[in-house]
Amino acid sequence: MRQKLQEIHPDLELDTNPFTLKDEFPGNPALKCYADQVWWLTVVTPVITTIFIALLVSRFNYEGFNWLRSGLFFTGWILGLFLSTLNSKSLIRYAWWFLLPVIVATLFWNAGITPKLLADYGSYDLIAVTYLFLSLFEPFIRPFAFGVAVGVAVGVAFGVAVGVAAGVTFGVGVGAGASSSKTKVSSKLPPVKF
């Protein structure tokens, strides 16, 4: 495989993102073909494998499989893969500048630090509105955002094998893990004292 990749392009390795060589696609149709194959394998293989495993989980597990969460994850996954093919360092940097504060804010909220600080300052309305927003949108936003993050971070950036493995692992994990925790979102949130 390494020899075949070297024939396509001298800088191409098994873990090379072929879209970093996008400028050379017009003069090297084999490189463009390889990049397209990598992208399609990284998109289709995890989806098909997850569907197969989900059917087995649904058949042999009484709780079933959460198809909606896996579907949302894979929608984000495909969007993340598309963004990674653009090979725009500034776009990826802006995505991380957006995702990092959201991740930190989520960690502070889930740890109960933010609600406690807001309660200390008497912002009970803001706490209530935030809890309402989380209970309505959290089941949909989290898997989609997670899919985008994994698609951009792993995607085709680490080659076909890692991209496909990550897609299968997270796609199955999101669907199977979500179905085993059927508790309401509000029961996971810390109590607010008025």
Is 0.75 topped by the overall pTM?
A: no
Rounded to whole angstroms, how far apart are CA atoms 178 and 183?
A: 10
Q: Confirm whether 56 is domain-assigned.
A: yes
Q: Confirm whether 66 is domain-assigned.
A: yes
Which whole-number Å values give the CA distances from 149 to 88, 109, 184, in the listed order? Answer: 15, 20, 25
Domain of residue 152: give its range: 2-188
Query: What is the CB-side half-sphere exposure of residue 153 using CA atoms within 13 A?
Result: 13
Per-residue pLDDT tens digits for 13-42 = 777 778 778 888 889 888 888 888 888 888
Closest listed residue to residue 8, CA positions, set 38, 36, 22, 28? 28
Q: Confirm whether 143 is domain-assigned.
A: yes
Q: Confirm whether 24 is domain-assigned.
A: yes
Per-residue pLDDT tens digits for 103-159 = 787 778 777 888 888 888 888 888 888 778 777 777 777 777 767 666 666 655 555
